[in-house]
Amino acid sequence: MLNRVSLRAVRLALLAGAGALSAQTGGTAAANGVEVPIPAGWHWNQAIAQAGGPLSLTTFEHWESGGVPPAGGAEIDITRVPAPRNLQDYVRREVEGSQAEAPVETAIQKNPAVEIAFTDSYGDLKLSTRALYILSGSRLYKLYVTFHAGDAHAADYARVFHDLAGQAKFQ
């Protein structure tokens, strides 16, 4: 939970410093050593990446206060860090404090990966996140899709998220 809250804090600080949100639709988005196609109906928030934040794709143009996606909206964040010694332990620490499902070992483009779904609660606000942790060379790519718990489009967001991970070009 701490790392997801940290990403929101970084996004808020970057948005405050970047001024108006400039979003690109269509084409490709590249930042943090990964290039992905921008899915139909999604926007790449270039100002966040240009200011050193995560590659951020959203189905909306304005966050709710606190860097939270609005009801009916979703966001995908992609970042990378040096590869950890133990991926399972790393994932467990990342979701500590969240209501998490069991992690599932998988492969994305022949790269070892762990997928996990978890929910964070902030009073009445509940945010669902599906995360993929993908090892590629000496890097760990962290992909998150986040939306309000119970969103009617959750299955669509998960499909887009998995399609995007399968098409990503990791550097």
Tell me the CATH number at 86.
Answer: 3.40.1000.10
- Rounded-to-10 torsion of CA 131, 13, 9, 148: -60
pLDDT score at 64: 82
Q: Which residues make beta-bridge pairs with 156?
A: none
In the chain, the number of structural domains is: 1
Q: Show the domain range for 95.
A: 2-170
Closest listed residue to residue 106, CA positions, set 159, 30, 35, 165: 165
- Listed ranges 44-53, 60-69, 140-149; the one with the highest mean pLDDT: 140-149
pLDDT score at 139: 97
Q: Which two tokens stand for residue 60?
A: 């909306």
Q: Which of 24-28, 69-73, 111-115 has the weakest average pLDDT?
A: 24-28
102-123 pLDDT, tens digit per residue, is: 999 999 999 999 999 999 999 9
52-61 pLDDT, tens digit per residue, is: 899 999 999 8
> Would you place residue 171 in the very low, low, confident or very high pLDDT band (cuts 50, 70, 90)?
confident
130-144 pLDDT, tens digit per residue, is: 999 999 999 999 999
- The H-assigned helical ranges of the chain are 2-18, 46-50, 87-94, 154-167
3-state secondary structure (DSSP) of residue 60: coil
C-alpha distances in Å from residue 160, one per residue of 8, 21, 96, 166: 21, 23, 26, 10
pLDDT score at 6: 46
Q: Which residues contact 92 (CB under 8 A, 6 or more apart)?
A: 103
The stretch 57-76 carries a mean pLDDT of: 90
pLDDT over 80 at 23, yes or no: no
> What pTM does this model have?
0.86
C-alpha distances in Å from residue 92, one per residue of 29, 114, 134, 165: 29, 11, 15, 21
